[in-house]
């Protein structure tokens, strides 16, 4: 590491390590509760047992809603409906941290449920229009259509007549969301999911960008940079945008489905779409995010969704080198609610644009999301230990000043 890089790292570490800023909104009791929660989910065996027990309890209709609600749900979610979230939205915004209301109901398969998600997403676009504290809306492709259809479309397999009608309804839902976002001038993030359904989603998002990103970035696709092909993919979409005259927006993340991706590739005997090592994923994330920062003036915008301190530091340094103002509206940082407050609140303190995903939905319906968060905090051991260290530091700091 060069002397300059070492200096930068230590300067930014100091910023991200400011626990007084990070936890200003948490009471002593809330801090202790967060400590116990992270302590619990840091143990892989406990998460495995907890996951199986939760599935068993829900399937057997045992009354576990209260337990889930008072533990992981309250920590990682804003509430069961959008109204519940508003209190949290307002509170975070007092410290300059914005919110993205994320209707986190997953795994639904019926047309009624897809229409309900459509209606809820349109509603969150209205919320975003009304409230400065909510700069984006978001949705998941499989929230508005069956996974199987995305998969089949991506494989270029012929649809039956009724599948074609179903696919047309999916296109229609995408279009309703993106055109409403465009009409109300609200940016819309479209999440990325499993690689074997993503090709079809990417095509749809590209069409939405073509239609609604003519003046500026309204529609953002997501690049999961644990996929080794995503840097080239981002560049390809950007090139199409330049040729056809639309803006290209990407949420850049590492990716949440690594284990299942690798497992499926191994089972089916195709090359894994995932980078071979964590270092390669880190490099792909940094390269992709840096490419977008380098091309802001070439019609690009970024939402960098990461809890990785080095990647956030790298972006900040790139912005500094290129004289990009901290609150440039083409650059957003994002973390998930309940995670990495040290990054979110310290970035906001320094006037960067930051938004936290604030999931909401009926308790049982957001369980798949909650399980992903518990597993993520278990498998990325360094991250959980960091959360725990920061909480302990803050508890001690408060004790010392009393």
Ligand X SMILES: Cc1cc2nc3c(=O)[nH]c(=O)nc-3n(C[C@H](O)[C@H](O)[C@H](O)COP(=O)(O)OP(=O)(O)OC[C@H]3O[C@@H](n4cnc5c(N)ncnc54)[C@H](O)[C@@H]3O)c2cc1C
Please report, as ranges, the residues that interact with ligand X according to CB under 6 A.
191-192, 222, 224, 226, 253-258, 274-275, 277-278, 281, 305-308, 334-336, 357, 376, 380, 383
CA distance 139 to 324: 29
CA angle, corner 84, sides to 78 and 87, nearest 5? 80
Contact 127, 101 (CB under 8 A): yes
252 and 292 in contact (C-beta within 8 Å)?
Answer: yes
Q: How far is the CB of 284 from ligand X (least distance, A)?
A: 9
Q: How far is the CB of 291 from ligand X (least distance, A)?
A: 17
Query: Who's near 287: CB < 8 A, 6+ residues apart?
Result: 231
Are 353 and 333 contacting, i.e. CB atoms less than 8 angstroms apart?
yes
- Closest contact distance (angstroms) between CB of 133 and ligand X is 16
Closest residue to ligand X in the complex (CB): 305
Q: Which is nearer to ligand X, 120 or 343 (CB)?
A: 343
Q: In terms of CB distance, is 23 or 226 closer to ligand X?
A: 226
Kindly tell me which of 194 and 238 has the beta carbon lying closer to ligand X.
Answer: 194
In three-state secondary structure terms, 137 is: strand
CB of 251 to ligand X, least distance (A): 6
Render 302-366 in DSSP notation, one character per residue: EEEE---HHHHHHHHHHHHHTT--TT-TTEEEEEETTS-HHHHHHHHHTT--EEEEEEES-GGGG
> Given the complex with ligand X, which of 98 and 383 has the nearer CB atom?
383
Task: Report in angstroms how near the CB of residue 335 gets to ligand X at its nearest.
Answer: 5
Q: If you write DSSP's letter for every residue of 255-270 in order, what string do you get?
A: -S-HHHHHHHHHHHTS
Nearer to ligand X, 108 or 262 (CB): 262
Pick 247 or 373: Cβ nearer ligand X: 373
Minimum separation from the CB atom of position 42 to ligand X (A) = 14
- In the complex, the smallest distance separating the C-beta of residue 275 from ligand X, rounded to whole angstroms, is 5
Is the CB of 18 or the CB of 225 nearer to ligand X? 225
Q: Is the dihedral of CA 327, 333, 338, 340 positive or negative?
A: negative
CA 211, CA 206: separation in Å to the nearest integer? 9
Per DSSP, 42 falls in state: T
The enclosing H or E element of 212 equals helix 195-212
d(CA 51, CA 26): 28
Nearer to ligand X, 213 or 281 (CB): 281
Q: Give least dist CB 391 to ligand X, A.
A: 18
């Amino acid at each position: 590491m060069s002397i300059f890089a070492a200096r930068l790292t230590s300067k930014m570490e100091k910023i991200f390590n400011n626990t007084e800023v990070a936890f200003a909104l948490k009471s002593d009791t809330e801090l202790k509760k967060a400590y116990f929660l992270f302590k619990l989910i840091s143990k892989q065996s406990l998460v495995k047992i907890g996951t199986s027990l939760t599935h068993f309890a829900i399937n057997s209709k045992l009354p576990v809603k209260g337990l889930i609600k008072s533990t992981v749900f309250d920590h990682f979610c804003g509430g069961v409906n959008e109204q519940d979230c508003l209190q949290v939205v307002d509170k975070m915004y007092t410290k300059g941290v914005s919110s993205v209301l994320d209707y986190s109901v997953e795994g639904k398969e019926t047309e009624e449920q897809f229409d309900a998600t459509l209606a809820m997403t349109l509603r969150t676009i209205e919320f975003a229009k009304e409230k400065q504290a909510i700069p984006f809306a978001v949705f998941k492709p499989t929230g508005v259509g069956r996974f199987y259809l995305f998969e089949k479309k991506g494989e270029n397999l012929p649809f039956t007549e009724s599948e074609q009608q179903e696919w047309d309804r999916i296109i229609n839902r995408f279009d309703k969301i993106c055109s409403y976002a465009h009409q109300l001038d609200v940016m819309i993030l479209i999440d990325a999911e499993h690689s074997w359904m993503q090709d079809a989603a990417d095509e749809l998002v590209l069409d939405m960008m073509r239609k609604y990103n003519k003046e500026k970035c309204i529609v953002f696709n997501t690049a999961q940079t644990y996929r080794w092909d995503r840097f080239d993919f981002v560049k390809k979409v950007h090139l199409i945008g330049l040729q056809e005259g639309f803006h290209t927006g990407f949420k850049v993340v590492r990716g949440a489905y690594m284990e299942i991706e690798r497992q499926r590739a191994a089972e089916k005997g195709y090359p894994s779409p995932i980078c071979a090592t964590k270092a390669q994923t880190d490099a792909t994330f940094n390269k992709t995010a840096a490419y977008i920062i380098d091309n802001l003036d070439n019609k690009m915008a970024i939402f960098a969704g990461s809890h990785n301190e080095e990647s956030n530091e790298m972006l900040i340094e790139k912005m500094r080198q290129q004289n990009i103002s901290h609150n440039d509206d083409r650059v957003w940082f994002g973390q998930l609610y309940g995670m990495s407050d040290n990054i979110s609140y310290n970035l906001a303190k320094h006037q960067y644009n930051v938004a936290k995903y604030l999931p909401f939905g009926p308790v049982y319906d957001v369980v798949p999301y909650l399980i992903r968060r518990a597993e993520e905090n278990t498998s990325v051991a360094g991250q959980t230990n960091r959360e725990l260290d920061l909480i302990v530091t803050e508890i001690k700091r408060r004790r010392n000043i009393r």
